[in-house]
Amino acid sequence: MEQIFKGQRALVTGAGKDIGRATAKLLATYGADVVALSRTKADLVSLSEEIDCKTIQADLSDADQARDAALSTGKVDLLVNNAGISILQPFLDTSIETFDKIMAVNARAVLIVSQIVAKGMISRGSGGAIVNVSSQSSMRAVQDHTAYCTSKGALDQLTRMMALELGPHQIRVNSVNPTVTLTPMGEMAWSDPEKSGPMLDRIPLQRFAKPINIAEVIAFLLSERAHMVHGVILPIDGGFLIS
């Protein structure tokens, strides 16, 4: 495997499972010095048995833990803000507690971690690359996903603001917005043909994504091959948004 990230340190949040785990493993394969952040210790232990990485356990819903985790990482050249949560509640039943928790992880933690990492990049004058993991749900309303859709819409706009203000410092910022991704949880949630069928009918490629499909695009956006790609909100949805 080509060592396109050799000598670069990559921080991946939500690295214990699914897209984050696939991304951490892929970046390590490409030569990056990976720092994996997760709230679940067991996931970090098992990941460190698969790849050589530094691990940080933190709950990003807590602002102080998010800040301390980012500060403890040290020099970071590449950042993947992947950590995210979803709690399904319809609009009329969305609680303040649910809304605040989802926004804290899916949007506020990205702000906190990215501010610290970007300040380090600026102080070193080295530039860098950041990829935020959003969702197609930022662009379409999804039943019972009020807080989640709102948080991902906020994340897209945060991505644009980061790109606008960090670009002059040669820090590239982009977002990936996947469709349904067949993580173990996703496979369970979408295994019923009555539920998955209507969604697949709206995807021209007639398939859902796998974590590695998202990880490969993240790696591209972090790499110098995407040297002029900046401020992009990139759907990875099999054509869902054009249908």
DSSP secondary structure string, 52-75? Answer: -EEEEE--TTSHHHHHHHHHHH--
Token digits for 45? 């232990």
Residues 18/183, Cβ–Cβ less than 8 Å: yes
The catalytic residue among 17, 25, 30, 152 is: 152
Catalytically annotated residue among 30, 41, 148, 210:
148
To the nearest 10°, report the CA torsion of 39, 175, 156, 169. Answer: 100
Closest CA to 47 of 26, 63, 64: 26
**CA–CA separation, 19 and 137 (whole Å):** 16
Q: Is 148 a catalytic residue?
A: yes
Distance, in Å, from the CA atom of 82 to the CA atom of 19, rounded to the nearest integer, reads: 8
Is there a catalytic annotation at residue 30?
Answer: no
What residues pair up with 235 in beta bridges, in sequence order? 177
Which residues are tagged catalytic? 148, 152
